[in-house]
Structure 1
């Protein structure tokens, strides 16, 4: 890899884009606030619209690649030695970052994630805040949480929350009176995050374990909110949105019945966005239920959300419905 070239406030956005598009890394050696302004100016000049979902993702990947060429140096003490640079040490440390050249986009993501981690995300169904860690999907949208908060629930002594993330759904189940909740996640960062959240909330009945899908044993209720879109995940946060080959969805549905106690129920929380953008059909989803030996007992839908028209996927998102499927073996 070629060494980066050092740049400063005299670098024009169009020149920065041309160099970055050619694979030239740009190491910023000037005022930190000016670097943020340059990054914003570059972003405005890069195309963000596309006629379909596939080209939209492609344009987003190219946009991320180009913007990621603007670098800052994080020193051995995890400081950024630039005029007007914020103290990034705690944010970098919390994200598991290391000294070296870091894309400004990544550093800003660390700072933003750390702010969420410190302040927390208010969750109405809990009457409390959830504190997401870097790389763990934050429960900023409440529709899927509200479905778990209002779905019929009685006689459940033990529940599994598969792919718990921040632990928000496990916490909702515990607050609803489930005496034992086992929450799993395959990502160590998510396990650490969920454990911290249930500890903050004072929920000793929730146990968080690292596992690929199911823990040992059976439960009266098995819940999963898998990534909603089939497709390749290209970052830690992508993994909360994209499910390569529908692996998690298929694995959950295939194994759910074997982990249910007698008379138990499966809750699958899923958006129909994949259907709206042509990545999956409703008949394919229902066929997956049937192949897993599961029948639909009921479906609860969350109200649609409104989306600004500037978003390339605004039309699909304006029609999106998030559902909680109640499934029985």
Structure 2
């Protein structure tokens, strides 16, 4: 029995139609859907989208892109919601949650513009681009016609271009090519910390917990660690890591395993770069940024001692952005480290270099400007 989500709509002749619904953010199919084409005014489209009615596009593809841009402009003109009198955010945590809520509402409205696809990932619209490879990389081989949002499609296209181009990693003297849904190592400070930290004595084996794109496993292998075991729960991440390590000619040194956190055994070096912010992710790539209740961070700390060889070290790479946002305290982090039977053997710090750190218009600018990324060297107490 096919339980895949379906999108339902009727045409101008009141004939019922349905198609497979795709949403990488796991959004449910829209309940209200109307057909739209080049004749629909932007104001009408915006009103429908705000009311919760999705627009299944039947016109020229490039005009659909123009309409999406028009929706963005209308959203940009809307003043930010401040809540009721007396409910303005007066703490960094409240400002963060309000910002996330506004981002979610914006994404919800922009996600109302839908595009039809044939089973082979072609788009049956005038002036539609060739997006077959981008969709194949994200969705795999198609089996039937489907519908997804134009906003998601543009994300797929962007991810495909980044995958082709790659991200230059100076520590590797090479590039990392990230697959769709895998976190891209655009911020280099945490990679530099792993490249510069002194390796523990006889570190011939290392565990890279939550390997993602494989960038830290590659750095460790290139630094001379004879064998690295990279773990992840995501098939996409493991495929991405394998691709990158093969490109860098380091795959013979790295064993990739699909497990939750730790592989079996112990190692003189265990490295983890968990999501930095304890909040709920809303899309696949956000799982590398947002960690509900700090679950991965706490899981890593709780299990680290049992997986360290005698005199081994655990490297926890963590930004303090959550502390500046009021979502986690330094005292809480140190308490979790102590409760896990660990001590801090040392710490290396790095300031952020990304553009948002100096963007005064960013709603979270104060926290971003104060952010420090650290490599905590942890040892068994």
Report the counterpart of residue 170 of structure 1 in structure 2. Answer: 217
Q: How does 1:275-294 map to 2 (within 5 A)?
A: 275-294=323-342
Deviations 1:283-314 (A, max 9, x none): 11111111111111111111233332222112
Query: What TM-score do you get using the length of structure 2 for normalisation?
Result: 0.83
User: Runs of 4+ in structure 1 displaced over 6 angstroms?
Assistant: none
1:256-267 to structure 2, matched below 5 A, reads 256-267=304-315
The CA distance in 1 between the partners of 2:80 and 2:212, in whole Å, is 30
Given the alignment, which residue of 88, 92, 95 partners 2:138? 95
TM-score, structure 1 normalization: 0.96
What does residue 119 of structure 1 align with? Answer: 165
Quick check: 197-206 or 33-42, which moved more?
Answer: 33-42
TM-aligned CA distance change 1:307 to 1:147, over 3 Å: same
Shift of 1:55: 0.5
Distance in 1 between the 2:369 and 2:58 partners? Answer: 43
Alpha-carbon deviation of 1:41?
A: 2.4
Query: What's the secondary structure of 1:242's corresponding residue?
Result: coil
Rounded to whole Å, the distance in 2 between the matches of 1:207 and 1:224 is 16
Structure 1, residues 236-279: CA drift from partner, whole Å, max 9, x if none? 11111111111100100000110011110010000111011110
Aligned position for 1:12: 41
Instruction: Give yes or no for the alignment of 1:34 onto 2:63.
Output: yes
Residues 72, 103 of structure 1: 8 Å contact kept: yes
| Of 30-39 and 84-93, the range deviating more from structure 2 | 30-39
Corresponding residue for residue 366 of structure 2: 315
Which of residues 205, 224, 237 in structure 2 aligns to 1:190? 237
Match of 2:379 in 1: 328
Segment of structure 1 superposing worse, 84-93 or 307-316: 307-316
Residues 242 and 91 of structure 1, relative CA distance in 2, 3 Å threshold? same
Q: Could you say what secondary structure the match of 2:284 adopts?
A: coil
Deviation at 1:44, TM superposition (A): 3.0
**Structure-1 residue corresponding to 2:115:** 72
TM-fit CA distance, 1:30: 2.0
Shift of 1:23: 1.4
CA distance in 1, matches of 2:71, 2:174: 38
- Counterpart of 1:23? 52
Shifted more, 156-165 versus 31-40: the winner is 31-40
Answer whether contact 2:207 2:269 (CA < 8 A) is retained: yes
CA shift for structure 1 position 316: 1.3
2:135 and 2:265 map into 1 onto residues whose CA distance is 38
Alpha-carbon spacing, 1:269–1:48, altered in 2? closer, same or farther (3 Å): farther
Unaligned 5+ runs, structure 2: 1-29, 82-88, 90-94
Distance 1:299 1:48, change over 3 A: farther
Structure 2 equivalent of residue 45 of structure 1: 74
Check the 8 A contact 2:315/2:377 in 1, yes or no. yes
Q: Distance in 2 between matches of 1:254 and 1:41?
A: 49
RMSD: 1.6
Distance 1:299 1:49, change over 3 A: farther
Distance 1:102 1:134 in 2: 16
For residues 68 and 265 of structure 2, the distance between their equivalents in structure 1, rounded to whole angstroms, comes to: 50
8 Å CA contact retained: 2:351, 2:371: no
Check conservation: 2:32, 2:52, Cα contact below 8 A: no
1:55 to 91, 98, 110: 98
Matched, 1:249 2:326: no
Distance apart, 1:48 and its partner CA: 8.5
Partner of 2:204: 157
Alignment check: 8 A CA contact 2:220 2:228 kept: yes
